[in-house]
Structure 1
Amino acid sequence: MAVDKDERQRHLPAGRKAQLAAFVADAGQVTVAELAERFKVSIDTVRRDLDQLAADGALVRTYGGAVSLSTASRTDRAVDQRLAFMEQEKDKIGTLAADLVQDASTIMINGGTTTLAAARRLGQHRDLTIATNNLLVPGALPVTAVRDIYVFGGAVRQLTLATVGPVSFRTAGGADLDITCDLALIGVGAVAADAGFTTSNIAEAAMMQEMISRAARVAILADSSKFDRRLFAQVSELSAADYLITDAAPPPSLQEALDAAGVEVITPAPVPRPR
């Protein structure tokens, strides 16, 4: 009895990985469980295959699965989709960003799901003043951490649930108040040696630039899927940041550019291997 060629290949590592990569590219986003069921292999095997394919640059690994390169490159996804993308990595970045925050300080936080993760991690802090254009941040902030919350006005981008407009507040007489902050936590869409920090929307880029200009210290938050990419609108050169907080070490050329720009790269401590 002849065995179908595709069926035989599923049991060969090279053939399986090629088919797996093609399936992810076609589906856009998949879970480990879905792949294990489809290819009739164990979850551990799928995880190893995905790790190898991610290392080869064939897809982007996510917590619990993977997404295709084309899906990962779509920066203007809706908030609910972005919340599930690189979720574990964003949580690590948020924890590291919270470590930079000092009690009784003033923080500016821009729109995005990575900065949202940082806001959720501020539970150990006290007496913070938060100014943000991220409409999800006020509800995510631990009540015990906050003294005052301010939301910048302007038009609301429904896609990102963030406002775009001037980084300012006005007195009762209509005059602009001069505002500054101790730390700006800025999530960006891409990081590259030549382009610096970029995003896909001009209005958001302008707002992020203004937040950066009003901050004593600037921490850029970006997961490793955003390395060596450039989007439509530049937010700033690399040198505008004091820190880049990310989930993995940047590629050597980007790391060299960050070092030259005086940017401290902060990543999670490596997990010790069991002996």
Structure 2
Amino acid sequence: MSGDRDDRQRHLPAGRKAQLAAYVSDAGQVTVGELAERFGVSIDTVRRDLDQLSAEGILVRTYGGAVSLSTISRTDRAVDQRLNEQEKEKEKIAALAAALVQDGSTIMINGGTTTLAFARSLRQHRDLTVATNNLLVPGALPPTAIRDIYIFGGAVRSLTLATIGPVSFRANTGTELDVSCDLALIGVGAISADAGYTTSNLAEAAMMQEMLSRAARVAILADSSKFGRRLFAQVSELGAADYLITDTMPPPDLRDALAASEVELITPAAPPRPREARS
């Protein structure tokens, strides 16, 4: 009887909205199409429900869907709160990422605590040029490993202690200098088979996209807690990266999607193998 009551309630606005809110809370992030299919109503109806729930402060409305308040609080926390999370996993990822770096190369590193762990792992390297928007990275880099360090300018996002702005530098004459790197190491907030690599902030996503476009090779760094999730802003589709470096094997759907996109999966059980840069 309770199952029948639940089915009937889905088609009543109040009952549907309550179940919709509960579903978004459990899922973390959903699309309008997913909700319309699940609850058997039109996309316009779902959009109206989401708009009302957003106005009531129950969830956060996004382009094409919604995000739960708990997901926002989990993903958009201050960097000092995230430093002690998944520490062992980040150290494993950092060591694997360091194995991709060649002495004398130029690398770009974005904001985040996983990339910060990577910066600390470069003790055995030499003569590196590093460009980053992560304000914590210069102090974490071993001095013996570095030839030059550059910080991308722009506004500072205090929550993540990273700059948000163009991936470029200007000469004394004001002319913008073209920059590129051998390897970009990008930490992301979530990875899914359909949405690719995503993060919670639009400006950070735009900066990460530009770093990817300026790199001969791209390595995405993410621990297994990021699997199967989708955040507000897409950084890129899966195939934009050469490598995904993580602490354990992803679930089958994501693993298959990575293979189809020709992304090399690097884990402690499957360390990196030699690979030529993309042409």
Q: TM-score, normalised by structure 2?
A: 0.71
| Number of equivalenced pairs | 201
- Structure 2: distance between partners of 1:185 and 1:95: 13
**1:122–1:141: 8 Å Cα contact kept in structure 2?**
yes
**1:167–1:210: 8 Å Cα contact kept in structure 2?**
yes
Q: How does 1:199-218 map to 2 (within 5 A)?
A: 199-218=199-218
- Structure 2: distance between partners of 1:139 and 1:148: 13
Corresponding position of 1:112: 112
Corresponding position of 2:276: none
Aligned residue for 2:234, secondary structure, equals strand
Aligned residue for 1:74, secondary structure, equals helix
- Structure 1: distance between partners of 2:238 and 2:109: 18
- Structure 2: distance between partners of 1:187 and 1:135: 15
**1:109–1:134: 8 Å Cα contact kept in structure 2?**
yes
Query: Aligned letter for 2:82?
Result: R
1:180-229 C-alpha deviation (Å, 9 max, x unpaired): 00000000000000000000000000000000000000000000000000
1:211-270 C-alpha deviation (Å, 9 max, x unpaired): 000000000000000000000000000000000000010000000000000000100138
Corresponding position of 1:145: 145
**1:154–1:166: 8 Å Cα contact kept in structure 2?**
yes
**1:72–1:225: 8 Å Cα contact kept in structure 2?**
no
Corresponding position of 1:255: 255
Corresponding position of 2:168: 168
**1:208–1:235: 8 Å Cα contact kept in structure 2?**
yes
Query: Aligned letter for 1:239?
Result: G
Query: Aligned letter for 2:209?
Result: Q
- Structure 2: distance between partners of 1:91 and 1:83: 12
Query: Aligned letter for 1:236?
Result: S
**1:206–1:235: 8 Å Cα contact kept in structure 2?**
yes
Aligned residue for 1:225, secondary structure, equals helix
Corresponding position of 2:38: none
Corresponding position of 1:45: none
Q: How far has the Cα of 1:80 moved from its partner?
A: 1.1
1:85-123 C-alpha deviation (Å, 9 max, x unpaired): 111101110111001000000000000000000000001
- Structure 1: distance between partners of 2:91 and 2:255: 22
Q: TM-score, normalised by structure 1?
A: 0.72
Corresponding position of 2:127: 127
Once the two structures are aligned, what percentage of the paired residues are identical? 79
Corresponding position of 1:239: 239
1:148-168 C-alpha deviation (Å, 9 max, x unpaired): 000000000110000000000
Aligned residue for 1:197, secondary structure, equals strand
Corresponding position of 2:82: 82
**1:93–1:245: 8 Å Cα contact kept in structure 2?**
yes
Corresponding position of 2:230: 230
Q: Which 4+ stretches in 1 moved above 6 angstroms?
A: none
**1:134–1:162: 8 Å Cα contact kept in structure 2?**
yes
Note the residue ranges of structure 2 that are not aligned, 5 or more in a row. Answer: 1-69, 271-279
**1:132–1:151: 8 Å Cα contact kept in structure 2?**
yes
Query: Aligned letter for 1:224?
Result: S
CA 1:94–1:73 in structure 2 vs 1: closer, same or farther (change >3 Å)?
farther
- Structure 1: distance between partners of 2:93 and 2:85: 13
- Structure 2: distance between partners of 1:261 and 1:82: 30
- Structure 1: distance between partners of 2:73 and 2:94: 22
Query: Aligned letter for 1:192?
Result: S
Aligned residue for 1:147, secondary structure, equals strand
Corresponding position of 1:178: 178
Q: CA RMSD, aligned part only?
A: 1.3
- Structure 2: distance between partners of 1:164 and 1:264: 29
CA 1:102–1:145 in structure 2 vs 1: closer, same or farther (change >3 Å)?
same
